[in-house]
Amino acid sequence: MVKTITILFVLLITSVVQAQALAVRTTETECTPIGCRQLIGIGACAYIGNIKDRSVYITAAHNLNNAKTVHIGYGGKWWGARVVHKEYQGSIDYAIVETANINGPKCFSLAERQPTHGVEAVAYGYSNGIYNLRSLRAKIQVNRGGRYFSKVVAKGDSGGPILVNGQVVGIIKGHDTQNTIYTDSVLIRRKVVSIYGRLPCCNCPPSVNPGPFPVLPIPDNGDQIAVLEVEIGKLKAEIDKLNKTQIPVWIIGADGEPVAKQAYPLGDPIKLRFKAVKQSEAK
């Protein structure tokens, strides 16, 4: 009974945390002289509302670099996404992304101003895995270099929101040795308004019914399979060579001179028999 209650409690806490941010999943193709492979990237994003029949999100621009496909998801469901705008220069690192209207689990507004030094904040990201959103609580630090979140994030947290009083004050860019660097929400807010003419609506009803969940594209692994087949052929040839390899063993007489030679297949045990002889016979 205690175990059941514990499991239910963990599931409840997990569902609450996972409602705070969504995951970004990207794919890209990397090619070398011997073939191509597909790379999958994971980051986080914040849902900031709807514009007509679209849902709008903000994430880190570097999450989307070289991305062939972009999907937004939560709870095991994924939706194809379109990059509306991205900016990646110096300390600025953010992107605005759209999907069909999906009414995400948690909608955030963008803060109109930045918090002061020492204000408590919370950040969310997916550095613990795509189905295990984590949260970090720390303070906003302000110095001559700008504003920072006073805990260091990890790979997979990029693009996640930093919240103060339930509003997004920034999007995680990365970190230095001590603090997390983030992109200012005021800058992002201005760009969102310039693109759409207004801020997305968090509580407005959808203007259209959301379509079925799109199926993730099946990657074309033909090139990778061809490379693997070539490598498998090489391995088979090497194995055939090894199977035919014979290990020579010389039999040395009592006088130290070789008297016979035997060959054993590689991997087989070498069996040697020794015959005791009298010292007089050896002479």
Tens digits of residue pLDDT in 235-268: 787 787 777 777 777 777 777 777 777 777 776 7
Query: Which pair of structure tokens corresponds to residue 206?
Result: 């959808």
Contact between 245 and 264 under an 8 Å Cβ cutoff? The reply is: no
The residue whose two tokens read 């963990």 is 10
- Four-point Cα dihedral 37, 43, 47, 52, nearest 10: -20
The CA-based angle 249-250-255, given to 5 degrees, is 155
Which domains does the chain possess?
Answer: 2-222 (2.40.10.120), 223-282 (no CATH)
- Give the pLDDT confidence of 182-196 residue by residue, as tens digits: 888 999 999 999 999
Reference 99, options 13, 212, 2; nearest CA is: 212
Q: Does pTM surpass 0.85?
A: no
